[in-house]
Every structure is written in C-alpha cells, then in structure tokens.
C-alpha cells in the first residue's frame, strides 16, 4: 500500500469528496465542513433546504457530520466497517446523532464514500452494551456505500428520524408496550425501489410505539423473514392449479406454504428444493395438492404466475416416491366417496398439527376399507354384539355411524333415512313407547358430528308425541343436550333442533294450573331465543316475571327466571342457597352457562 499521502491531505480529499456530493445540481444542501481545524468528534454540518433559494425560511435542519479519510489499494465492495472510540459515541449521543462518512481513497486520488447514520437509539444501545457492560474502548460500525442512494436522501432521512428520538424519551420512556395504539417500523437505508437497497435483510430498522401523536423508539431490529399471502396460479406443463399461498422469504431461502399444507423450501444459493406435507388441512386441500406434487416429482417445470418465479425440473432420487404419491391420491379419492356417502363437506378441517400426517392417514385407510369394501377387520367396538351408534374420529372430524352386528354392512351413516323406517322404542316400566333413536347421541356427537343431519333428526321426532307425560324427562334432557352442544360449537342448527322439538309441546295458556313441565319448557324456549337473538321482548320479560311470581316456592324456577331477567345479584343469592349437590347438577345445565356470563 502506498503511504506517500499525508493524513492532512487524506482528510482534505475526503472532505472535498463529501462537499462535491453536496454541491451536485440536484442536491438542496450546503456542506459546512472544516478541512483543517477539526472539532471534537464533529467536522462540521450539512444544511438541508426545501428549495434552491437557500434562504432562511427554506432551511429544514442541520446534520452534524464527521468525515474520515482512509487510503486503500482497492475500493471495498458492498459494505465496510470502521472503528470508533466509545467517547465519540457518547459525544454523538449528547448531540442527538451524527452522520459518519468514511471516504476510501486510492493513490490515484479516486474516492468512494461510505456513510452511516447514527441516531440516539442506536448510540444508546452501543454505549450501554459495549461501554457500560463490556467496558470496551472502541466499537466498529458498518457503513453502506453512498453510491446506492444520494447524500440529499441520507441527510433528509436523518433529520426526519432524529426528531423522533430525543435522548430524554429514550432514557425515560413513560409507557408500557401494551399502552401503544399502534407500532411503526422504519429504516434509514432500506429502499425497495432501488435494486442496491431492496434486500430487506441487509438493513437496520427501528420499532416505534405510537401513542396519539407521539412516536417512542422501542427497539432496534433486523428483519429475519418476510411473509406474504396471495392467491396464486401455478402452472406445470399443461396443468394449472389455483392455490392459496403463503411465501416466506429469508436471507438464503424461500419457503412456499401451499393451502396451509404443502411446504416447499427453495435454497437461493444452491437452488436446491425439498418439500414436506406439514398437515392435511382438509380433503379438498389434498385433492388439490397431491396431483400438483405428482407433477413436481414427475420432473415437470413449476411456474408461479403472479410471482414470476420458476422451479426448474426436480430430480428425485427416491424412485418409489412417485408411486407412493399416486397411492396416496387414490386413497383420498376413495375418502371422497366416503364423504359423499355421509354428506360430509370436503372442506371440513382435519384439525391436524404439524407432524401428524401419518397419524391421520392411518385413520383414513381403515375407514375407506370399512365403508367401501365392508372390511371390518380393524373395527374396534365395545360390546360388538349390540346395535348402537358409534363414532369414528379422524383428527377433529367426528363421523357418526349406526353399527348393526347382524348386517353384512355393519356400519351405515347414522343419518341414513333407512333408520327412520326402523321401529325405535323406549321402555318405561312395563310400557313401550315409539321414540327417536337419536336420543342416544351424546353432547360431543351433536356438537362435532361432521355428518350430522338435523333434518333427519327433526323428522324422527315428527313420528310420535315426544311430550307424552312419561317421555317428557327424556325429551327435555335431549333438548338440553342440544343447547349445551350449541354452547361449545356455536352451531345454530342445534338451537333450531331443540326449538323444533319444544314447539311440539301444547302452547295453550295454562291459566291457574301452571304445571312444572310448562315452566321448564317456557324457560328453555326463552333461553334458546336469548342465545339466538341476544335479547328477549318486553312481552317475554313480562312472561318471566309472571312465572317468577307464580313460582315463589320453587327455588329452581326462581333461579332460572332471575338469570333470564338478568337479575345478577338475585340469581347469585338464590344459587348460593342450593345444596352443593344441586349446584353441581346445575353446573351441567345450559342455564348455568348464561348464569356464568351474567356474573362475570
């Protein structure tokens, strides 16, 4: 390296290079930078104006600067570092920041300018970490080439951001993070419009908390990944697929998550790609992505239209993989036939988490064999000699079947109309009554049964009188089960089912002979309406008041009417009068759900 240039001349050349940038015709800048008698930590300032008049009223602000010249054999490519003493950082901090310029100088006199905007938040972090904690004497900073932007832009961004970072606010932030109404992420150097500054992973960002008109600097950050969601058309030779796509970009790779199920990872440096099915999501999803995977594994070129991105032909070493995917697709096509038999929506979510693919597939295979091939070797059922309703679980999908050990087709859709033709009965004492077989469905099946057909259940209750006195407790218990199931699933059809059944109860005004059954049905009808519509009418509130007045000796009726009348204190006091066993009983009833919401 040549060393025949004095330090003084290096500094003069460096200052002259910065001034030359300030004096460009397009810049609205005046550089007041000393070339000889330098100040402590600062070499001068750059004035920034609104227009070319350079008048007092057009001045936007001043940017403190320090300029360093350094002799090099060749210019640095990309970014470069420069060491500074901690005392300099402290002086910069006390002056609300600085723009540092390091000018590389060849022995020919050619120059290349690098810059670093040092704002109070970053300066405070440097001083605290490396000065106060690690007790270091100096710390290097990373500078970017000025050629990727302009001196005018560097100075304007510095002024804009420095106003948002007064040291007193950094040291005495009066707010907690949950008090801010929104957050803002800004960068002094990131500019997606220019190729040189468009790589978001190479830039520093400041996170601001915003409260009213105040911006509070909270954290310095680097972006490690960026995610975008979009509708995408993917083309493979002559095939086109419409996908919901989430693309996550990281410094060295792109991750494509297709339909929240299939993940493709593309390594930017070596162009390698691998894939995994993270979760099944739904049958509809698999019927879309498995054919696409078959195309991919078959070596077809993959083109993402909106992203203008192409995967080259993929070479798969595992020769058996293509055959496995074809078998997998065949299995899903068979499951599609099963869902059609059961009237299950193909978009129903399996609810599986990452890594549960094999677990779900292992549940699908036996189901397909049982329903389509009458192969029951893997059917596990308690008391296999007794006909009954039984559930089959695939992830979160609950399928309800009727099991008949005497039939060749042992499992049929529990809501097949064939069941309506069967003579279902309940025996009470020495009497037998026709009844709906669906009274055997538990709360979970009602809430989560993917193939449940409410119209079939309603029709089954249309075939008899469900409120014959002996049947009343059974019918009321089933309706309460429907309301409870609604409270965990929010399926409005469950309330409509219970309402349909209660509407079969005689509606004639009871006069003075108000029966306990009438009170129960009235309360339950009204709690159904409260759930459906969010409020009751004045006439219905009056009906509840009349019931309460009539039932002064009925503590349980008093409690239920108080809950529906939203008499919080009264309901609470009455509930406390129940014996512990009765409190426990009521905790399982739907009225208790309304009571808990009332007192919370």
- For 278-304, write each residue's pLDDT tens digit: 999 999 999 999 999 999 888 888 899
What share of residues in the chain are helix, strand, coil (percent, to 5)?
40, 25, 35
Cα distance between residue 113 and residue 102, in whole Å: 6
Cα distance between residue 105 and residue 370, in whole Å: 80
Give the CA distances from residue 370 to residues 33, 332, 337, in Å, rounded to whole numbers and listed in that order.
86, 15, 12
Cα distance between residue 192 and residue 387, in whole Å: 68
Q: What is the pLDDT of residue 246?
A: 95
| Position 403 pLDDT exceeds 50 | yes
What residue ranges do the domains of the chain occupy?
A: 7-162, 506-600
| Position 443 pLDDT exceeds 80 | yes
Q: What is the pLDDT of residue 340?
A: 96
Cα distance between residue 10 and residue 2, in whole Å: 12
Ranges 17-31, 67-81, 174-188, 559-573: which has the least confidence: 174-188
Phi-psi region of 215 (alpha: psi -120 to 50; beta: other; left: phi over 0): beta
Q: Average pLDDT for residues 374-384, to the nearest whole number?
A: 90
Using alpha carbons only, what angle is made at residue 124 by residues 95 and 48, rounded to the nearest 5 degrees?
A: 35
Contact 440, 387 (CB under 8 A): no
| Position 312 pLDDT exceeds 80 | no
- For 121-170, write each residue's pLDDT tens digit: 999 999 999 988 899 999 999 999 999 999 999 999 999 999 999 988 89
Which residues contact residue 502 at a Cβ distance below 8 angstroms, ignoring those fewer than 6 apart?
479, 521, 524, 525, 528
Contact 50, 60 (CB under 8 A): yes
Give the tokens for residue 303.
């083109």
Give the count of alpha carbons within 13 A of 513, CB side only.
1
DSSP string, 416-472: -GGGGGS--EEEETTEEEE--GGGG--HHHHHHBTT--HHHHHHHHTTS-TTSTTTH
Q: What is the pLDDT of residue 417?
A: 86
Among candidate residues 106, 115, 162, the one with its CA nearest the CA of residue 141 = 115
- For 156-167, write each residue's pLDDT tens digit: 999 999 999 998
DSSP string, 56-103: GGGEEEEEEEEEEEEE-SSPPSS-EEEEEEHHHHHHHHHTT-EEEEEE
Task: Write down the H helix ranges in 164-216.
Answer: 167-171
- For 26-78, write each residue's pLDDT tens digit: 999 999 998 865 678 899 999 999 999 999 999 999 999 999 999 999 999 99
| Position 511 pLDDT exceeds 60 | no
pTM score, two decimals? 0.74
> Where is 323: in which H helix or E strand?
helix 320-342
Place of tokens 């006439």: 539
Residues in a beta bridge with 217: 208
Strand bridging mode 253-258 / 239-249: antiparallel
Average pLDDT of the residues of the chain: 92
User: What distance lies between CA 56 and its chain's CA centroid?
Assistant: 52
| Position 272 pLDDT exceeds 80 | no
Helix count (H) and strand count (E) of the chain? 18, 22
Residue 373 CB burial class (10 angstroms; 0-12, 13-18, ≥19): exposed
Q: What is the radius of gyration, based on Cα positions, of the chain? A: 38
Give the tokens for residue 164.
């948002």
Residue 391 CB burial class (10 angstroms; 0-12, 13-18, ≥19): middle
Q: Average pLDDT for residues 107-118, to the nearest whole number?
A: 96
Residues in a beta bridge with 85: 138
- For 315-364, write each residue's pLDDT tens digit: 666 668 889 999 999 999 999 999 999 999 999 999 988 888 899 999 99
Give the tokens for residue 362.
């292992």
Q: What is the pLDDT of residue 1?
A: 44
Place of tokens 């000699």: 385
Contact 284, 346 (CB under 8 A): yes
């Amino acid at each position: 390296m040549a060393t025949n240039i004095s330090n003084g001349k290096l500094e003069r050349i460096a200052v002259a290079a910065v001034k030359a940038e300030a004096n460009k015709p397009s810049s609205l800048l005046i550089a007041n930078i000393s070339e000889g008698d330098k100040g402590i930590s600062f070499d001068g300032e750059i004035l920034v104006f609104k227009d070319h008049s350079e008048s007092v009223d057009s001045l936007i602000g001043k940017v403190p600067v320090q300029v360093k010249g350094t002799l090099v054999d060749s210019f640095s490519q990309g970014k470069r570092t420069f060491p500074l003493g901690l005392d300099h950082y402290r002086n910069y901090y006390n002056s609300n920041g600085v723009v540092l310029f390091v000018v590389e100088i060849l022995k020919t006199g050619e120059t290349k300018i690098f810059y670093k905007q040092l704002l109070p938040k970053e300066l405070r972090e440097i001083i605290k970490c490396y000065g106060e904690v690690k007790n270091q004497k100096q710390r290097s900073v990373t500078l970017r080439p000025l050629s990727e932007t302009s001196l005018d832009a560097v100075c304007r961004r510095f002024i804009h951001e420095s106003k948002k970072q007064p040291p007193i606010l950094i040291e005495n932030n009066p707010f907690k993070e949950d008090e801010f109404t929104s957050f803002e992420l800004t960068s002094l150097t990131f500019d997606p419009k220019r190729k040189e500054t468009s790589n978001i992973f190479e830039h520093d960002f400041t996170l601001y908390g915003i409260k009213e008109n105040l911006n509070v600097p909270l954290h310095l950050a680097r972006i490690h990944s960026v995610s975008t969601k979009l509708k995408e058309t993917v083309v493979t030779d002559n095939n086109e697929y419409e996908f919901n796509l989430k693309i996550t970009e990281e410094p060295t790779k792109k991750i494509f998550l297709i339909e929240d199920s299939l993940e493709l990872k593309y390594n930017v440096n070596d162009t390698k790609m691998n894939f995994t099915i993270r979760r099944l999501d739904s049958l509809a999803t698999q019927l879309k992505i498995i054919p696409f995977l078959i195309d991919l594994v078959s070596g077809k070129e993959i083109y993402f239209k909106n992203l203008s991105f192409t995967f080259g032909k993929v070479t798969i070493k595992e020769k058996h993989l293509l055959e496995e995917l074809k078998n997998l697709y065949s299995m899903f096509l068979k499951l599609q036939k099963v869902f059609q038999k059961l009237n299950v929506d193909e978009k129903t979510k399996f609810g599986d988490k990452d890594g549960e693919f094999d677990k779900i597939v292992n549940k699908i295979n036996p189901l397909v064999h049982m329903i389509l091939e009458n192969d029951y070797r893997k059917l596990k059922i308690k008391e296999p000699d007794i006909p009954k309703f039984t559930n089959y679980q695939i992830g979160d999908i609950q399928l309800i079947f009727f099991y008949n050990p005497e039939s060749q087709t042992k499992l049929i859709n529990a809501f097949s109309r064939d069941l309506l033709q069967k003579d279902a009965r309940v025996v009470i004492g020495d009497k037998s009554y026709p009844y709906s077989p669906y009274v055997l469905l538990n709360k979970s099946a009602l809430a989560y049964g993917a193939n449940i057909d409410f119209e079939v259940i309603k029709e089954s209750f249309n075939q008899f009188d469900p409120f014959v006195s002996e049947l009343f407790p059974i019918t009321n218990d089933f309706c309460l089960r429907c309301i409870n199931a609604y409270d965990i699933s929010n399926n409005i059809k469950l309330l409509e089912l219970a309402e349909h059944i209660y509407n079969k109860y005689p509606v004639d005004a009871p006069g003075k002979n108000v029966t306990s059954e009438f009170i129960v049905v009235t309360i339950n009808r009204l709690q159904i309406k409260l759930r459906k519509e969010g409020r009751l009418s004045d006439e219905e509130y009056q009906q509840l008041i009349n019931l309460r007045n009539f039932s002064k000796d009925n503590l349980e009726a008093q409690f239920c009417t108080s809950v529906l009348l939203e008499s919080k204190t009264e309901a609470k006091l009455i509930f406390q009068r129940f014996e512990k066993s009765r409190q426990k009983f009521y905790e399982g009833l739907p009225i208790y759900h309304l009571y808990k919401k009332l007192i919370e």
